[in-house]
Amino acid sequence: NTALRGIFRFYELMAPVLEEEDIVYLGEGNTPIIEANDHLAEKAGLRFAFKNDGQNPSASFKDRGMACAFSYLKALVRKHGWDEVLTVCASTGDTSAAAALYASYIGSPLKSVVLLPHGKVTPQQLSQPLGSGATVLEIPGVFDDCMKVVENLAENYRVALLNSKNSWRILGQESYAFEVAQWCDWDLKGKCVFVPVGNAGNITAVMGGFLKLHRLGIISELPRVFGVQSHHADPVYQYYSVEDPAKRVYKPVTVTPSVAQAAMIGNPVSFPRVKHFAEQFEAIGGKGSFQVLQVTEQSIMDSMIEANMNGHIACTQGGECYAGLKRAKELGLIAEDEFAILDATAHALKFSGFQDMYFSNSFPPQFGVQPDTALANAPELVI
Ligand code: F0G
């Protein structure tokens, strides 16, 4: 069956009501899981691997959700015969790249509009929706400001909202959990999954995917799931850092510039879903099966560079996961006989500007990042 490739190998778990003709497949999913070499494993204090979701068609994990969401949308458009449909999203750069790609593939009657915070997406990310022919609106402010605008649009006009509030997105992104489980031969005992947290759609989907497999009896144990946030954008960490659940109060935070720019979000729209799944996770997996870690900007950059100097192609958010793994080890939250799978959510090349600033020691002071001399001295350009 040619349609059921990539994430759609799991279509009974994500999209069983869809007709095959509506499935939009651009090669998403089935991304490689690459074990860290001995040097990195020694640095981390345990064996681990990166899952390279940067090897998706628009170079981030967002394609998993978009493939599923656009398949449902295509089915709806066919059913209703609409002659024009605006697809809209707010984005830190990757959702917009993916949404514009899928909309341009399907073509008429879809038209893609994306809202970006001015100056807070990388040049590579900005070029993606432009290259796919989307209308790109840049507004002053941060992602959270863009999100308010598109939520308002979705409440008042007939537009298709493609942010992770859209449950079809979450369904597609559950495929990440299915692929990890399959790679582990459906045995998740002693496995830990690290996910960077921004708008919190990814961690919702990952927990939801594992819970679904557990409920169906496909896996008998849940893995442990660790969310990771930068200290410059950490509302979910702040909430869970209060030990006593009865005393936890959710508060949006004001973000400051972060190298994990794609996750630089002060008020994640999927936070209520995280809370819901976290409770279910702990009810089945016990205390410690879901945790959120905070890491520094410095450790994120050092970790990204260290990973990529050892054969990986991790973006800053992938670096954030690796920094989270080292933090978990340092805090004694993870044992050396466990195995970690880190989500390298996008391709490193989307974030090469941060790498350049690292090597040239030119980070603006608000990031608070200095190059680690041992790492930064390594590359050489000989002309
Ligand atoms: N990593 C990358 C590369 C991302 O693009 C994002 C989110 C995240 C991690 C965080 O995932 O939001 O599901 O918690 N990017 C969104 C965007 C917000 O607009 O591209 P999350």
The CATH number that domain 31-59+174-370 falls under is: 3.40.50.1100
- pLDDT in the model for residue 13: 94
Name the CATH architecture for the domain at 62-167: 3-Layer(aba) Sandwich (3.40)
Cα–ligand 1 centroid distance for 92 (angstroms): 7
Cα–ligand 1 centroid distance for 188 (angstroms): 25
Angle between helix axes 94-106 and 123-131 (nearest 10 degrees) is 20
- pLDDT in the model for residue 3: 65
Mean pLDDT split into 10-residue runs, the chain, 383 residues:
82 89 96 98 98 98 98 96 97 98 98 98 98 98 97 95 95 98 98 98 98 98 98 98 96 98 97 97 96 98 96 97 98 98 98 94 94 77 84
Q: Give the tokens for residue 58.
A: 């628009």
Is-contact 90 115, C-beta < 8 A?
Answer: yes
Is-contact 228 321, C-beta < 8 A?
Answer: yes
**Ligand 1 atom at minimal distance to the Cα of residue 91:** 19
CA-to-CA separations, 144 to 130, 178, 220, 270, in angstroms, rounded: 22, 30, 38, 12
Task: Name the closest-CA residue to atom 11, ligand 1.
Answer: 198
Q: Which of 60, 151, 230, 313 to mutate to test the pocket of ligand 1 (most atoms within 8 A of CB)?
A: 60
Cα–ligand 1 centroid distance for 348 (angstroms): 14
* 94 pocket-lining for ligand 1 (C-beta < 6 Å): yes
Spell 196-229 as b/e; 16+ CB within 10 A means b. Answer: bbbbbbbbbbbbbbbbbbbeeeebebbbbbbbbb
Question: What residue spans in the chain does CATH classification 3.40.50.1100 cover?
Answer: 31-59+174-370, 62-167
**Ligand 1 atom at minimal distance to the Cα of residue 90:** 19
SS (H, E, C) the chain: CCCCCHHHHHHHHHCCCCCHHHCCCCCCCCCCEEECCHHHHHHHCCCEEEEEHHHCCCCECHHHHHHHHHHHHHHHHHHHCCCCEEEEEECCCHHHHHHHHHHHHHCCCEEEEEEEECCCCCHHHHHHHHHCCCEEEEECCCHHHHHHHHHHHHHHCCCEECCCCCHHHHHHHCHHHHHHHHHCCCCCCCEEEEEECCCCHHHHHHHHHHHHHHHCCCCCCCCEEEEEEECCCCHHHHHHCCCCHHHCCCCCCCCCCCCCHHHCCCCCCCHHHHHHHHHHHHHHHCCCCEEEEEECHHHHHHHHHHHHCCCCCECHHHHHHHHHHHHHHHCCCCCCCCEEEEEECEEHHHHHHHHHHHHCCCCCHHHCCCCCHHHHCCCCCCC
Cα–ligand 1 centroid distance for 62 (angstroms): 8
Q: Which of 87, 174, 202, 347 to mutate to test the pocket of ligand 1 (most atoms within 8 A of CB)?
A: 202
- pLDDT in the model for residue 199: 97
- pLDDT in the model for residue 372: 82
Cα–ligand 1 centroid distance for 70 (angstroms): 18
* 67 pocket-lining for ligand 1 (C-beta < 6 Å): no
ipTM of the complex: 0.99
